Amino acid sequence: MDNSSVSYDEDYEDEYIFSDPRLQAVLICLYSVVFFFCFFGNLIVVLVMTLHWKMRGSTKFCLGNLAFANLCVGAFCIYQDLSMYLIDR
């Protein structure tokens, strides 16, 4: 058996594309912008739906429910998805 051969796992560790600090900084900035607009945009929609009583109706309720669901996705999934790229193992 030849000890000079390199396995696939060792090659993969050397060429992991997301280990570049510049790429990580760009990803963090982009994910932060997406989080900001997702979280605060949907929060405004949810607040408008709850504070203005005249905006009660089935269509408005569905829009408020959709905004709340998207708010939860933004709060719980965006940075978790980013961590999957930044942590190589």
| Domain assignment of residue 5, yes or no | no
pLDDT digits (tens, 9 = 90+) for 39-48: 999 999 888 8
Cβ–Cβ under 8 Å, residues 42 and 74: yes
Residue 12 has pLDDT above 90, yes or no: no
Please give the pLDDT value at position 32: 95
| Domain assignment of residue 78, yes or no | yes
Domain region containing 63: 18-86
| Domain assignment of residue 82, yes or no | yes
| Domain assignment of residue 2, yes or no | no
| pTM greater than 0.95 (yes/no) | no
| Domain assignment of residue 6, yes or no | no
